[in-house]
Amino acid sequence: MGIRVLVSGANGKVGKEIIKGILADPALKLVGAVGHKNGIGEDVGALVGQQPIGIQLSPDLPGTIRRTHAEVVVDFTRPAVIKNNLKAIAQNGAHAVVGTTGITEVDIAEIATFYEEHKVNAVISPNFAIGAIMLLKFAQQAARYFPQVEIIETHHNQKLDAPSGTAIKYAETIAKAAGKCNAEQTQIEKVPHVRGGNLEGIKIHSLRLPGFVAHHAIVFGGLGQSLTLKHDSISRESFVPGVLLAVKKVQELEGVVYGLENLLDL
């Protein structure tokens, strides 16, 4: 038995880790895997470096949901396709757990209405690493006393978007907790944009380098002191426990939940 799970983006860097996590969890049953171009038709067990499991990577998300009677679809694909995928998941009667970034607040509102109409639920989170969620909580506390803050996020050099969805969420949450943040202005900027981007009065700096996975540092400055809160995802396995937790809870929720923090007792 177990919850019937389909992975979309199954041949991607995160998708492969999710597949391995599902295969190792007796409470879950992998029923399907969807990709785009690479690896179509190949056995998914072999794609993740394990024994063949008799499930082939399909290019057809709606058809695979219907054929496999998937209850939950996990999606780690691309910002450009996530809205379409989310709609296809709901239209075919499955719940969604989405890690794909690039979803705006406007998209979330639209998706929430769509999911309500189709009577299915979703957990959408820009970060599924539980430590990164704890960092958000600690930053909320610190922001009450240190409203001057900058965020540095570092990712691998193939990441499509900048800043990271997580950095955006940190900035929005800190700004709310602090009341108001005013980024320090520099009088003479010798190199354009050298002070980073400005979101809600908080400077964000995005680094893209090989050798990194996903790293966030929130640096608070105060009178005669500074406080740095930092989280590092050193491998993509770091996202698996949070995703599997969401897969197990999504059917009991009501509608769309944005942020893994809403599923944790913090």
Judged by CB under 6 A, does residue 258 bind ligand NAP? no
What residues from 193 to 252 belong to the interface with ligand NAP (CB under 6 A)? 239
Q: Minimum distance from CB of 75 to ligand NAP (Å)?
A: 8
Cis omega before residue 163 (within 30°)?
yes
Let me know if 180 is a catalytic residue: no
Exactly one of 3, 5, 7, 11 binds ligand NAP (CB under 6 A); that residue is 11
Window of 43-51, 76-84, 203-211, 220-228 that interacts with ligand NAP by CB under 6 A: 76-84
Q: Is 36 in the site for ligand NAP (CB under 6 A)?
A: yes
The least distance separating ligand NAP from the CB of residue 66, rounded to whole angstroms, comes to 16
Catalytic: 155? yes
- Choose which of 48, 120, 128, 231 interacts with ligand NAP (CB under 6 A): 128
Select the residue interacting with ligand NAP from 6, 28, 76, 142 (CB under 6 A). 76
Q: Would you count residue 79 as binding ligand NAP (CB under 6 A)?
A: yes
Residues 80-119 that bind ligand NAP (CB under 6 A): 81, 99-101
Q: Is 32 in the site for ligand NAP (CB under 6 A)?
A: no
Catalytic residue among 16, 95, 155, 215: 155
Q: Which residue number places its CB atom closest to ligand NAP?
A: 12
User: Quick one: which of 64, 68, 121, 125 contacts ligand NAP (CB under 6 A)?
Assistant: 125
Q: Which residues neighbour 187 within 8 Å (Cβ) at sequence distance 6 or greater?
A: none
Q: In degrees rounded to 5, what are phi and psi of residue 17?
A: -65, -35
Which of 4, 5, 7, 12: binder of ligand NAP (CB under 6 A)?
12
- Chosen residue from 32, 45, 126, 147 binding ligand NAP by CB under 6 A: 126
**Pairwise CA distance, residues 209 & 187, whole Å:** 29
Write out the residues near ligand NAP by the rule CB under 6 A.
Answer: 8-9, 11-15, 34-38, 61, 76-79, 81, 99-101, 125-128, 239
